[in-house]
Structures are given as structure tokens and as C-alpha cells.
Amino acid sequence: MTEDNEDFLDEEFLDANNSVDIDDENKGLYEHLNITVDGNQEPLRIDKFLFNFRQNSSRNKISQTCRAGNVVVNGNPVKQNYRVKPGDQISVLLTHPPRENTIIPQDIPINIVYEDDDLVVVDKEPGMVVHPGFGNWDKTLVNALAFHFQKNGEKSDLDRVGLVHRIDKDTSGLLVIAKNEYALSFLAKQFFERKTKRLYWAFVWGNVKDDEGTITGHIGRHPKNRMQMHTYVDGSQGKHAVTHYKVLERFKYMTWVECKLETGRTHQIRAHFKHIGHTLFNDERYEGNIALRGVNLPKYKQFIKNVFDVLPRHALHAHTLGFIHPTTKKELYFESPMPQDMTDAVKKWRNYLEN
């Protein structure tokens, strides 16, 4: 069995001395640099200084990074003509460090809900991997977008599709993709600083006790099952994670919840709800693909099988996405309706309880 490339994201581009906490969902998309300027440094424009320091980044990329406010010197954002001085403390957020693999455009249907010269918003279908990686080198959302841009004659200053964030293969819902370096840097800062508006819908096993609540606990690798993440309440391992939830509808043995994340850890919703005894419905990796709640009757077991048949993946959907547009500086807000498989599951649960 191959591992979804969204599930466990690589750390190869993170600065070992980085004191900034990068959310796991964005690992591999951003690189954070902390630089102390040498005492013998001659005055030099910061774009030239960073180009010399990071030669695999273009001058244009560095210029757009400055323009987006992602280059900070001694606590203040600077423009590309700032001249560095000895002792300056420089912090840089660079988008998408270079990858070796080439993106091959592929004609794959995708649901584009918004598009302009700077960005595109996609409502991703479940089952589609976002970016090529181990075990999934093609037929991804990025391959589909590359074809879409090529077909429309898009002129972009990106050497590949500008991913700002990612979601798991079997999670459905909204994603924003940048079309140029400035848009990518501007959007990246909002995700990096957790200023976007995102809500997830999830179906979880059992009747969640409280109508609203917060789950807090460090998330790290499971001590025995390396394919899972685990919640460490004592903070002994992993990284700090906070999930807020609200119950939207109860189905006696299953609950529909809305989730808002303060952090973006790998499998955060999946691990947190398993920790409180409410594993995501039909989440095979977390043993949610068996009847965890209900009665021990053949009719009920057959019903659960029927629901699994119409919803053959973990029940998680990226429902909303809001952010500030890089050019207009106006807020854009999108809502994705519940996908058909989750809608069908809701109908079956309602019918079952009524009858």
C-alpha cells in the first residue's frame, strides 16, 4: 500500500534553526530563513544580499517576496531597496522551495469556482491527490491545473503551479492556488500567520456530548502505528494543536460537526476526534471503517455497510475558505456545498432513524 503524499509532509526545507512554528499542512511549501548579517558586511541592497545568500531563488522571486511583506529586518517589513547593515536580524518567508520533479500537464476535470489573473479557487473532489509525490506521480490536482493554465494560454512567472496549502487525498473541498510570485507570497503570509477563514465539516462516530467544545493536545507520530498521528495531552511529544468544534446535527450513533483549527497539524481533526472517542466516520487509517457505535444487530450492520458504500472515504470536507485578495486587498469568501457522497450518507442516516 502506498502512502498518500498529503498525509505525512516532508520537512526537508525547514531551517533547522527556525524558531517559527510552521503548520504541518504547509511543510514543503514554505521555507523560513533567519539570518544575522555578518559584522563585516558592506552596505548592500537586500534583494542582492538575499540573492547571493539563496542562489536557487530568482531576483524576481525575492523582489515579490519583499513586496508581499515577507522580508522582515529587525522586526519591520522592508522593500527590496533596503540596504542591509552589520548585525541586522533578517527573517524571510520564501514560497515553494524548488522541487526536482517536473509537472506534466494532464487533462483531468476539476471544479474551478473562481479565477482571475492572480489566483484560482478549486473545489477538490475526494480521492484526488493535490501534488505529485511518492506513489502518486501524476493525475493530481497540480497536473490538472497545469493543463488548465496551458490550455488557456496563461502566462505565469511560476515554474510550477503555485500551491498555497494542501488537504489530504480523501478530504474534499476548497483550495486556493496562486498564478504569480507576488500572489503566492501574499497568500502564503496569510496562511502562515493563520489569518484565513476556514471551516471543515466532519462526520464522527458516536453522539458527541457537548454542542460546542475545544480539543487541545500535542499531535505527533503514534508510538506503535507509524501511519497514524497521536494526541499527547501531556505535551511530552508532538506539537501544540487546538481544534474547536460545533455540533450541526446528531444521528444517535454518528454526529455531524463543524471544525475550526487554530493550528494545521498533520491529520489534526482525525487524531483529535479519535482521542476523545469519536473517530471520523469510515476513516480506515484510524479504524473508523467498522461500526464503532450502535446496536449489535444484523440489520444495523447491513445499514452501516450501505452507508460505507455511498461514502467510501473518511468523512471530512473543507467547507469554507476566506482570504484577502493580493491585488484588490478585498476579502474573498467561498463556501463549498456538502459533496454528494456525504449528502447521501446524511439521507441514509435520517431515513434509518425515522424508520
pLDDT in tens, 98-138: 454 577 889 999 999 999 999 999 999 999 999 877 667 78
Q: Which three cell numbers mark 100?
A: 526536482
Q: Which residues sit opposite 76 in a β-bridge?
A: 73
pLDDT (average), residues 295-321: 97
Q: Which residues sit opposite 133 in a β-bridge?
A: 136
**Which is the catalytic residue, given 7, 168, 283, 341?**
168
pLDDT above 90: residue 214: yes
HSE-CB at 330 with a 13 A cutoff on CA atoms is 3
**Has 24 been annotated as catalytic?**
no
* pLDDT at res. 15: 27
Q: Which three cell numbers mark 252?
A: 444517535
Average pLDDT, the chain: 86
Q: What percent of the chain has pLDDT over 70?
A: 86
pLDDT tier for residue 259 given thresholds of 50, 70 and 90: very high
Q: Write down the residue that cell numbers 493525475 correspond to.
A: 139
* pLDDT at res. 108: 95
Q: Where are the alpha helices (DSSP H) in the chain?
A: 46-53, 59-67, 141-151, 181-192, 268-275, 298-310, 340-354
pLDDT above 60: residue 7: no
Separation CA 2–CA 127 (nearest Å): 14
* pLDDT at res. 269: 97
pLDDT (average), residues 134-146: 83
Question: What is the pTM assigned to this prediction?
Answer: 0.80
* pLDDT at res. 159: 52
Residue among 236, 202, 203 nearest 219 (CA): 236
Q: Give the list of residues 6+ apart from residue 7 with CB closer than 8 angstroms, or none.
A: 168, 169, 227, 266, 267, 285
* pLDDT at res. 156: 52
pLDDT in tens, 84-95: 999 999 988 887
